[in-house]
Amino acid sequence: MHPLDKLDIRILSALQADGSLTQAQLAEITNSTPSTCLRRVHRLKQAGYLTRCVYLTDPKMLERGVKAFITVVTKDQGRHDFMAFIERIAQEPSINMAYGTTGDVDAIVSGNFTSLEEYREVCERLFDTDPFVERYTTLFAVQALKEKTAIATDELERRIVVKKNLKRRK
């Protein structure tokens, strides 16, 4: 793919805010044409910048209003145990994100639960009965201070400016 330019970045930003935009709407927002946007979106998909388009739902409307962040410390028993742990996490419907981490904990898991009872049942199933899990700690969200799915494009913008300035100096 050709190097990204400002139009590509505007397209990325717009689609992160609303993936349901029509090509005409995207063209209007990005100050381009629908055909150009269509070609650019296709290239951004092919290059891996755009990976999927989803609608975000309101957890409360789905009756999953209990948001929990769970930190997990595991015993050092080897890759096989960790892979089995990952598979159990992946199969659990109430868990929507999980990350392996560095530092004092080995994983951070987040989930949306219907109730504290469901949360407890999931923890028993995933953590309490797993000899690989040494301990876990849960933090419950009581207020959303910021919920954003978009990834900032400012570094891409900065690199374009730097490249442009380097070309001017030559």
The residues near 96 (Cβ < 8 Å, ≥ 6 apart) are 110, 111, 112
Our count of domains for the chain comes to 2
Residue 166 falls inside a structural domain = no
Model's pTM, two decimal places? 0.84
Q: What per-residue confidence (pLDDT) applies to 161?
A: 82
Residue 12 falls inside a structural domain = yes
Domain housing 20? 1-56
The DSSP 8-state label assigned to residue 60 in this structure reads T
Count CB neighbours of 71 within 10 A.
Answer: 17
In which residue are the tokens 């050092």 written? 76
Query: Any idea what the CATH number is for the domain that residue 47 is in?
Result: 1.10.10.10
Per DSSP, what are the bridge partners of residue 110?
A: 69, 97
Q: How far is CA 63 from CA 9, 60, 67, 123, 144, in A?
A: 36, 5, 11, 19, 17
Q: What per-residue confidence (pLDDT) applies to 100?
A: 93
Whether 134 and 88 map to the same domain: the answer is yes
Whether 83 and 52 map to the same domain: the answer is no
Whether 91 and 30 map to the same domain: the answer is no
State the Cα–Cα distance between residues 14 and 97, nearest whole angstrom.
24
Contact 11, 26 (CB under 8 A): yes
Whether 120 and 91 map to the same domain: the answer is yes
**Residues of the chain with confidence (pLDDT) below 50:** none
Tokens of 95: 């868990």
Ramachandran angles phi, psi of 157, nearest 5°: -60, -45
Residue 161 falls inside a structural domain = no
